[in-house]
Structure 1
Amino acid sequence: MNDTLLWTLISIQVFMGAFDTLVHHEGTERLAWRPSQKTELRLHGVRNLLYAVIFLSFGWFEPHGLFTIALSVFLAFEVLITLWDFVEEDMTRRLPGSERINHTLLALNYGAILALAAPYLWAWSALPTALVPANYGWWTVMATFSAIGVVLFGMRDLTAAGRCDRLMKDNPLALVAPLPPRQRVLVTGGTGFIGRRLVQALVMGGHYVTVLTRDPRNADAVPHPVRIISSLNQIHNSDRFDAIVNLAGEPVANGLWTTRKRARIINSRVDLTSALEAVIERLDHHPECLINGSAIGWYGLRQDEELTEASQPTHAFVHQVCESWEDVANKIAAYGVRVVTLRIGLVLGVEDGMLARLLTPFEFCGGGILGNGQQWMSWIECDDMIRVIAITMARQDIKGPVNATAPEPVRNIDFTRALAQALNRPAFLQFPGWLLRGLGGEMARETMLGGQRVMPELLRRKGFDFVYPELAPALRAITGAHGNPDEDGYDSAIWLGRADKDLR
């Protein structure tokens, strides 16, 4: 099959398939960590294994007779799997436009491949049954590496499909159990990571939820029934809210802190909170409480000092962001509204956030220590975060700043070790501080290499019980890890680079 055009189309198919896998399946869509995509992952896994057989058959052999018929069956089965996959994708998720375009091009190119390959298959089928060795030079090399790649990702997708049931979360109703019945709640940022789970819990609890989102097309990200608004102007003076939860804001750690980015980070929080103040001022009935987002960055960059709500800050951009946000929120107390500012740590979940961005690198053995690994990471599991929001809404004796972090912060080196063990992967890399600062600038210095050792002092005084006070059990539950952790397995099973202080 020394047909240059046919091999060129096969190469294009490989390139587009790799783009779809890396950019969409592993990148934007993160299918391996979405329990709803269990069937799609299985289809991808089976199809990838079929592709491996097809690539090796075309690259190394001329299959004659019955082998040709078997290969033709594989090709036809691949078409059926792809059609099934298209239907499954449309039923279970909203595909990005680029993925739809890529799928269309893949289908058209595959049709051209089948049309060009048909005469060869027809001729080979009439020959005596045999696998005749063949070598097409560079094309054979390309087919071999393609087969290896699709086998790796096929096995990964099948493994991820088997993990999906362990990633399913419990009914969130219990998360908002402290709330009185039938609360009316306005949630900004309700289509974000924390907001989606909060809205889901409130809806399951029978509460009346209004979600503010800049893009109404994101409404399918939250459960119904909810009221979706795209502007605070859609709130009437006669509307009643028992509570407002304000979580909206430009992401902080998703790019370089240019002057424009810094302004967006601050203004997105300050402007919306000021707009909420204007709404509250004109409402006939003021809400009982405002639960306003903030972050542990309020404390600035600290070393080993234990930080409580009474601790004082040091200067840093993350402090400037949080201080500006809290100052505006605190003004709303003048209207008789109880204001709580949640100084939120790293919220852990597979759906989004810092941990979600680490899962794929760690799964492919690309995880490692940041800097010298001694910086503190104050974290909280996602459902514990929802429970914190619920109790601060329900308890009228809670106001002011509240540290929303688990009681056991860890150093980066311990976080890396725990995540590697939960995923059963080695984490032998170490990323020097100078490299991170060179790539990420001030953002990397403050969010990756800086840290805070924050303690939830107020929550402990109020008797709040964390379901996940310790990191290792939390990560195992979040990632759907099998079995119990091997307490002595860190050094024997997980390889970690040495944390040299001079790398900081």
Structure 2
Amino acid sequence: MTTTLWLFIALQMMMGAFDTFYHHEGTERLAWRPGQDMELRLHGVRNLAYMLAFACLGWTMPQGGWAIALILLLAGELFITLWDFVEEDRTRHLPATERVVHTLLTLNYGVILAMLIPVLAGWAGEPSAILPVHYGIMSWFCAIAAFGVFVSGLRDLAAARRCPRLVPADPAPLAAALGPRKAVLVTGGTGFVGSRLVEALASAGHDVTVLTRDRAKALRLLGANPVHIVTSLDAIASDTPIDAIVNLAGEPISNGPWTRAKRQRIVRSRMAMTQHVVRLMQRLRHRPVVLVSGSAIGIYGLRGDESLSEDSEGRPCFSRHVCLNWERAARRAEGLGVRTVYLRTGLVLDASGGMLARMLAPFEYGLGGRFGDGRHWMSWIHRDDLVRLIVHCIARSDIGGPVNGTAPVPVTNRIFTAALGRALHRPAMLPVPAWPLRRLLGGFADELLLSGQRVLPAAAARTGFLFRYPDLDAALAAITGADKRIPTDAPLHPFVTEKGF
């Protein structure tokens, strides 16, 4: 085993770790994507093969039949990798960075085999034996890598078994309340909430137009649905019939620290898009009946333990600044005679995106816990219930003004993280201290991770909206596949919040 060979093996380990953490766990979240069970099985088996190879090469000198067995193991790993490439192309669109990393991994593995196979072939000519060896730091490097791929392999195999339970519920019933066929324009239709809304509306037979900056992304996400895609509102003719507009577009708020430039993008993107929507309504010959415009419960500011409804006042903070400007921009639609709803959403729950998606991996590895002291409130809502609430706001002519998009029973962060641990059958005992979050993320951590609002859906309750997931444990069990999903045709029951709304 030469120094050059060890360098290529170490490079393979590091690139493999990057691919796993950045792509599989980070951007792609394969363990929580429906339909990826075969790819997860291949990853699991390949990782266990890597575990054996790393442990063997780092600490032993296999001879005779054991050397031949290791050659066969490496050949099998190569076959699995080729099979994995076919499966990936069949089931998902790989980002450019993942394709580059896979190419480099393949080339580097070829170099490793070209140098390693002659060594193993020489060992194969000796009498069968497993001789202990020690290559210094590389032996320990192999031990760490073997442990890592062993844990990752077991996790991938377990995730493959769970995968069939992650199939989303039929989206069509989510839009059942809308009634006869409607023409709906959705901005932000490729986003976390917007894509599910578009799927629901299209599946229910409504005419859906989606505004997006990235047509290719929209086709990948929405291609199976009969929707019309535009990259500019100017492409919509003045005589186009539009019954309702749902405005959800804006710079993501939770994908990085709130630098000065990031704050400007967050505010300006929402203001600009809402202004474009208002200008579209001004030139349409037949204006839409309703505009449902995005907002958030951050408009109430940081309010401690106070129970808040749509009539509550707010306290200054950046989140409130964003939401006030967003709602003020949308208010111009009221002057055009368009019924306007300001949808103040809380923490939207689903495995495919949002804050929960980022929490799943660490919690599944047993590394989860409360943020800070865990006493701050988290006002949450299941994504499917939020889609149903948007449809409810479109369908009900008596709904206007602010509507809180939250479930009826908000919980503290301590209760939320404990419930997530239960859903994943993992302990949630490793708290994340407040000071590193504040140091790394600044205001983002203060307002979104370490503080919150105790918000109640008073307007939704007053207008007869019924939640399918009013209970956090049931919502998390459905999202994580810990329990069967509540059927979309199951009866809904009225609820009473702590204030009796």
Instruction: Indicate the TM-score class for this superposition, using the shorter chain for normalisation.
Output: over 0.9
Give 1:233 deviation, angstroms. 1.0
1:271 pairs with 2:260 = no
State the aligned residue count: 483
**Alignment correspondent of 2:493:** none
Give 1:159 deviation, angstroms. 0.8
Give 1:37 deviation, angstroms. 1.6
1:221 pairs with 2:221 = yes
Matches within 5 A, 1:165-204: 165-204=164-203
**Alignment correspondent of 2:28:** 29
1:465 pairs with 2:477 = no
Give 1:483 deviation, angstroms. 9.0
Question: Residue 278 of structure 1 aligns to which amino acid in structure 2?
Answer: R
Cα distance, 1:459–1:77 mapped onto 2, change above 3 Å: same
Cα distance, 1:133–1:435 mapped onto 2, change above 3 Å: closer
Unaligned runs of at least 5 residues, structure 2: 486-501
- Which shows bigger deviation, 240-249 or 357-366? 357-366
**Alignment correspondent of 2:48:** 49
**Alignment correspondent of 1:340:** 341
Give 1:245 deviation, angstroms. 0.6
**Alignment correspondent of 1:367:** 368
**Alignment correspondent of 2:304:** 303
- Which shows bigger deviation, 33-42 or 342-351? 33-42
- Which shows bigger deviation, 452-461 or 89-98? 89-98
Matches within 5 A, 1:329-408: 329-408=330-409
Paired residues of 2:203 and 2:225 also in contact (CA < 8 A)? no
Cα RMSD (Å): 1.6
**Alignment correspondent of 2:480:** 479
Give 1:352 deviation, angstroms. 0.6
Question: Residue 25 of structure 2 aligns to which amino acid in structure 1?
Answer: E
Render the CA deviation track for 1:298-320: whole Å, top value 9, x for unaligned: 11111222111111222221111
Matches within 5 A, 1:58-457: 58-219=57-218, 220-222=220-222, 223-457=224-458
Paired residues of 2:68 and 2:121 also in contact (CA < 8 A)? no
Give 1:109 deviation, angstroms. 0.9
Cα distance, 1:147–1:436 mapped onto 2, change above 3 Å: closer
Question: Residue 159 of structure 1 aligns to which amino acid in structure 2?
Answer: A
Cα distance, 1:371–1:119 mapped onto 2, change above 3 Å: closer
Cα distance, 1:115–1:216 mapped onto 2, change above 3 Å: same
Structure 1: distance between partners of 2:36 and 2:382: 23
Cα distance, 1:125–1:424 mapped onto 2, change above 3 Å: same
Q: Moved runs in structure 1, 4+ residues, more than 3 A? A: 431-435
Render the CA deviation track for 1:298-344: whole Å, top value 9, x for unaligned: 11111222111111222221111111111111210222211111111
Give 1:482 deviation, angstroms. 5.5
Structure 1: distance between partners of 2:147 and 2:375: 38
Structure 1: distance between partners of 2:439 and 2:16: 33
Give 1:429 deviation, angstroms. 2.5
Cα distance, 1:382–1:117 mapped onto 2, change above 3 Å: same
Cα distance, 1:131–1:483 mapped onto 2, change above 3 Å: farther
Structure 2: distance between partners of 1:404 and 1:99: 36
Render the CA deviation track for 1:151-185: whole Å, top value 9, x for unaligned: 11000111111111111111111100011232111
Structure 1: distance between partners of 2:4 and 2:435: 48
Give 1:435 deviation, angstroms. 3.5
Render the CA deviation track for 1:237-282: whole Å, top value 9, x for unaligned: 1111111110011122333323322221111111111111111110
* Structure 2 SS opposite 1:36: coil
Render the CA deviation track for 1:177-201: whole Å, top value 9, x for unaligned: 0112321111000000001111111
Question: Residue 66 of structure 1 aligns to which amino acid in structure 2?
Answer: G
Structure 1: distance between partners of 2:437 and 2:58: 42
Structure 2: distance between partners of 1:249 and 1:186: 15
Paired residues of 2:478 and 2:484 also in contact (CA < 8 A)? no
Structure 2: distance between partners of 1:449 and 1:125: 59
After TM superposition, the score normalised by the length of structure 2 is 0.93
Question: Residue 6 of structure 2 aligns to which amino acid in structure 1?
Answer: W
Structure 2: distance between partners of 1:482 and 1:397: 37
Question: Residue 100 of structure 1 aligns to which amino acid in structure 2?
Answer: R
Question: Residue 466 of structure 2 aligns to which amino acid in structure 1?
Answer: D
After TM superposition, the score normalised by the length of structure 1 is 0.93
**Alignment correspondent of 1:13:** 12
Cα distance, 1:483–1:339 mapped onto 2, change above 3 Å: closer
Give 1:413 deviation, angstroms. 0.9
* Structure 1 SS opposite 2:61: strand
Structure 1: distance between partners of 2:395 and 2:178: 5
Structure 2: distance between partners of 1:33 and 1:151: 19
Question: Residue 184 of structure 2 aligns to which amino acid in structure 1?
Answer: V
Give 1:410 deviation, angstroms. 0.5
Structure 2: distance between partners of 1:483 and 1:86: 32
Question: Residue 444 of structure 1 aligns to which amino acid in structure 2?
Answer: A
- Which shows bigger deviation, 119-128 or 309-318? 119-128
Kindly, what percent of the aligned residue pairs are identical? Answer: 54
Paired residues of 2:363 and 2:428 also in contact (CA < 8 A)? yes
Cα distance, 1:7–1:228 mapped onto 2, change above 3 Å: same
* Structure 2 SS opposite 1:84: helix
Question: Residue 19 of structure 1 aligns to which amino acid in structure 2?
Answer: F
* Structure 2 SS opposite 1:250: coil
* Structure 1 SS opposite 2:184: strand
Structure 1: distance between partners of 2:422 and 2:288: 45
* Structure 2 SS opposite 1:177: helix
Give 1:234 deviation, angstroms. 0.7
Cα distance, 1:431–1:78 mapped onto 2, change above 3 Å: closer
Render the CA deviation track for 1:52-91: whole Å, top value 9, x for unaligned: 1111222222322322222222111111110111111112
- Which shows bigger deviation, 119-128 or 344-353? 119-128
Structure 2: distance between partners of 1:16 and 1:252: 30
Structure 2: distance between partners of 1:321 and 1:138: 52
